[in-house]
Amino acid sequence: MKSSNLLLPSLILSLFLTNCTKKENPSAQSDTAQGQVSKEAQVKRGEYLVTVIGCNDCHSPKIMTEYGPAPDPERLLSGHPADEKMADVADKSVLKNYALFNMSLTASVGPWGTSFAANLTPDGTGIGNWSLNQFKKAMREGKFKGMENGRMLLPPMPWPNFKAMNNEDLEAIWAYLNSIPAVRNIVPAPVPPAG
Protein backbone atom coordinates (compact mmCIF):
# COMPACT_ATOMS: atom_id res chain seq x y z
CA MET A 1 0.00 0.00 0.00
CA LYS A 2 2.82 2.35 0.90
CA SER A 3 4.49 1.91 -2.50
CA SER A 4 1.28 2.79 -4.35
CA ASN A 5 0.89 5.88 -2.16
CA LEU A 6 4.35 7.02 -3.26
CA LEU A 7 3.80 6.21 -6.92
CA LEU A 8 1.19 8.90 -7.59
CA PRO A 9 3.17 11.78 -5.98
CA SER A 10 6.33 10.60 -7.80
CA LEU A 11 4.53 10.70 -11.15
CA ILE A 12 3.15 14.17 -10.45
CA LEU A 13 6.60 15.41 -9.39
CA SER A 14 8.18 13.92 -12.55
CA LEU A 15 5.61 15.58 -14.80
CA PHE A 16 6.08 18.88 -13.00
CA LEU A 17 9.88 18.77 -13.30
CA THR A 18 9.71 17.74 -16.96
CA ASN A 19 7.44 20.64 -17.83
CA CYS A 20 9.45 23.17 -15.84
CA THR A 21 12.72 22.55 -17.61
CA LYS A 22 13.67 25.14 -20.20
CA LYS A 23 12.71 24.11 -23.69
CA GLU A 24 14.05 25.51 -26.93
CA ASN A 25 11.57 27.55 -28.87
CA PRO A 26 10.74 25.28 -31.83
CA SER A 27 9.39 28.17 -33.89
CA ALA A 28 12.67 30.09 -33.52
CA GLN A 29 14.53 27.01 -34.68
CA SER A 30 12.25 26.49 -37.66
CA ASP A 31 12.42 30.21 -38.58
CA THR A 32 16.20 29.96 -38.81
CA ALA A 33 16.01 26.74 -40.81
CA GLN A 34 13.30 28.25 -43.01
CA GLY A 35 15.47 31.35 -43.64
CA GLN A 36 18.34 29.14 -44.77
CA VAL A 37 16.07 26.98 -46.87
CA SER A 38 14.42 29.98 -48.48
CA LYS A 39 17.83 31.48 -49.39
CA GLU A 40 18.80 28.08 -50.77
CA ALA A 41 15.48 27.86 -52.60
CA GLN A 42 15.97 31.38 -53.99
CA VAL A 43 19.39 30.43 -55.41
CA LYS A 44 17.92 27.23 -56.91
CA ARG A 45 15.08 29.25 -58.46
CA GLY A 46 17.65 31.68 -59.87
CA GLU A 47 19.66 28.83 -61.36
CA TYR A 48 16.48 27.48 -62.95
CA LEU A 49 15.59 30.90 -64.42
CA VAL A 50 19.12 31.49 -65.74
CA THR A 51 18.88 28.11 -67.45
CA VAL A 52 15.43 28.47 -69.00
CA ILE A 53 15.87 32.05 -70.21
CA GLY A 54 19.11 31.04 -71.89
CA CYS A 55 21.74 33.20 -70.13
CA ASN A 56 24.40 30.53 -70.73
CA ASP A 57 23.67 30.60 -74.46
CA CYS A 58 25.55 33.89 -74.86
CA HIS A 59 27.25 34.62 -71.53
CA SER A 60 29.19 31.34 -71.14
CA PRO A 61 32.22 30.50 -73.30
CA LYS A 62 31.81 27.07 -74.87
CA ILE A 63 33.82 23.91 -75.17
CA MET A 64 33.23 21.45 -77.99
CA THR A 65 31.62 18.19 -76.92
CA GLU A 66 30.34 15.17 -78.83
CA TYR A 67 26.95 16.97 -78.85
CA GLY A 68 28.35 20.28 -80.07
CA PRO A 69 29.24 23.42 -78.13
CA ALA A 70 28.40 23.34 -74.41
CA PRO A 71 29.04 25.88 -71.62
CA ASP A 72 32.55 25.62 -70.19
CA PRO A 73 31.98 24.86 -66.48
CA GLU A 74 35.28 26.58 -65.59
CA ARG A 75 34.14 29.86 -67.19
CA LEU A 76 30.40 29.68 -66.59
CA LEU A 77 28.67 33.02 -67.27
CA SER A 78 32.01 34.86 -67.53
CA GLY A 79 31.17 36.54 -70.84
CA HIS A 80 33.23 36.85 -73.99
CA PRO A 81 36.86 35.88 -73.25
CA ALA A 82 39.12 38.94 -73.18
CA ASP A 83 41.80 37.24 -75.27
CA GLU A 84 39.50 35.89 -78.00
CA LYS A 85 39.47 38.00 -81.15
CA MET A 86 36.64 38.18 -83.67
CA ALA A 87 37.38 37.11 -87.22
CA ASP A 88 37.32 39.88 -89.79
CA VAL A 89 34.25 39.89 -92.02
CA ALA A 90 35.58 40.39 -95.55
CA ASP A 91 32.27 41.38 -97.12
CA LYS A 92 30.92 44.10 -94.81
CA SER A 93 27.77 44.46 -96.94
CA VAL A 94 26.53 41.16 -95.51
CA LEU A 95 26.27 42.86 -92.10
CA LYS A 96 23.40 45.06 -93.29
CA ASN A 97 21.03 42.09 -93.29
CA TYR A 98 22.70 39.43 -91.16
CA ALA A 99 24.09 38.86 -87.69
CA LEU A 100 27.13 36.62 -87.30
CA PHE A 101 28.22 34.90 -84.09
CA ASN A 102 31.45 33.31 -82.95
CA MET A 103 31.42 29.59 -82.09
CA SER A 104 30.79 30.29 -78.38
CA LEU A 105 27.96 32.74 -79.14
CA THR A 106 29.69 35.22 -76.80
CA ALA A 107 30.26 37.76 -79.58
CA SER A 108 28.13 38.91 -82.46
CA VAL A 109 28.46 41.33 -85.32
CA GLY A 110 25.62 42.95 -87.21
CA PRO A 111 24.22 46.32 -88.25
CA TRP A 112 24.80 47.60 -84.66
CA GLY A 113 28.54 46.80 -84.80
CA THR A 114 30.20 44.12 -82.69
CA SER A 115 28.89 43.28 -79.25
CA PHE A 116 30.33 41.02 -76.59
CA ALA A 117 28.43 39.15 -73.87
CA ALA A 118 29.04 40.56 -70.39
CA ASN A 119 30.70 38.80 -67.47
CA LEU A 120 27.86 37.89 -65.08
CA THR A 121 30.02 36.39 -62.33
CA PRO A 122 30.47 38.12 -58.95
CA ASP A 123 34.02 39.20 -59.84
CA GLY A 124 34.88 42.91 -59.99
CA THR A 125 35.22 42.52 -63.77
CA GLY A 126 31.65 41.22 -63.84
CA ILE A 127 28.72 42.15 -61.61
CA GLY A 128 30.78 42.09 -58.41
CA ASN A 129 30.49 45.86 -57.93
CA TRP A 130 26.86 46.15 -59.00
CA SER A 131 23.90 46.68 -56.69
CA LEU A 132 20.67 44.73 -56.99
CA ASN A 133 19.01 47.91 -58.27
CA GLN A 134 21.60 48.26 -61.05
CA PHE A 135 20.93 44.66 -62.05
CA LYS A 136 17.18 45.29 -62.16
CA LYS A 137 17.70 48.45 -64.26
CA ALA A 138 19.91 46.56 -66.73
CA MET A 139 17.38 43.75 -67.05
CA ARG A 140 14.25 45.88 -67.25
CA GLU A 141 15.49 49.05 -68.96
CA GLY A 142 18.44 47.76 -70.98
CA LYS A 143 20.92 50.13 -69.34
CA PHE A 144 24.60 49.12 -69.53
CA LYS A 145 25.75 48.19 -66.00
CA GLY A 146 22.40 49.47 -64.77
CA MET A 147 23.66 53.05 -64.97
CA GLU A 148 20.99 55.69 -65.59
CA ASN A 149 23.14 57.71 -68.00
CA GLY A 150 24.86 54.70 -69.56
CA ARG A 151 24.47 53.42 -73.09
CA MET A 152 21.81 50.91 -74.01
CA LEU A 153 22.58 47.20 -74.07
CA LEU A 154 23.28 45.98 -77.59
CA PRO A 155 21.80 43.07 -79.54
CA PRO A 156 21.51 40.19 -79.16
CA MET A 157 20.76 40.88 -75.45
CA PRO A 158 16.97 40.43 -75.32
CA TRP A 159 16.38 42.79 -72.38
CA PRO A 160 12.93 43.88 -73.70
CA ASN A 161 11.80 40.30 -73.03
CA PHE A 162 12.69 40.75 -69.35
CA LYS A 163 10.87 44.05 -68.74
CA ALA A 164 7.92 42.32 -67.11
CA MET A 165 9.96 40.06 -64.81
CA ASN A 166 8.78 40.40 -61.23
CA ASN A 167 11.08 41.37 -58.37
CA GLU A 168 11.03 37.86 -56.93
CA ASP A 169 12.43 36.34 -60.14
CA LEU A 170 15.04 39.07 -60.66
CA GLU A 171 16.15 38.73 -57.03
CA ALA A 172 16.42 34.95 -57.46
CA ILE A 173 18.59 35.40 -60.57
CA TRP A 174 20.71 37.94 -58.67
CA ALA A 175 21.12 35.51 -55.74
CA TYR A 176 22.18 32.72 -58.10
CA LEU A 177 24.65 34.89 -60.03
CA ASN A 178 26.23 35.96 -56.74
CA SER A 179 26.55 32.32 -55.64
CA ILE A 180 28.61 31.10 -58.62
CA PRO A 181 32.42 31.24 -58.71
CA ALA A 182 33.86 34.64 -59.63
CA VAL A 183 35.80 34.59 -62.89
CA ARG A 184 38.18 37.43 -63.68
CA ASN A 185 37.53 38.40 -67.30
CA ILE A 186 37.50 41.91 -68.72
CA VAL A 187 35.08 41.71 -71.63
CA PRO A 188 36.07 43.90 -74.62
CA ALA A 189 34.13 47.09 -75.29
CA PRO A 190 31.67 47.00 -78.20
CA VAL A 191 32.90 48.06 -81.62
CA PRO A 192 30.70 50.51 -83.57
CA PRO A 193 29.60 49.56 -87.09
CA ALA A 194 32.14 50.14 -89.85
CA GLY A 195 31.82 53.10 -92.17
Q: Average pLDDT of the chain?
A: 87
pLDDT-derived band at 86 (thresholds 50, 70, 90) equals: confident
Helix axes 26-52, 167-177, angle to 10 degrees: 90
Average pLDDT over residues 80-102: 89
- Report which DSSP code applies to 91: -
Strands of the chain, DSSP E: 62-65, 68-71, 100-101, 107-110, 113-116
pLDDT at 176: 99
Strands of 2-152, DSSP E: 62-65, 68-71, 100-101, 107-110, 113-116
pLDDT at 96: 87
- Domain residue limits, the chain: 41-177
Structure-model confidence comparison of residues 74 and 1, the more confident one: 74
* pLDDT tens digits along 32-81: 555 555 999 999 999 999 999 999 999 999 999 999 999 999 999 999 99
pLDDT-derived band at 88 (thresholds 50, 70, 90) equals: confident
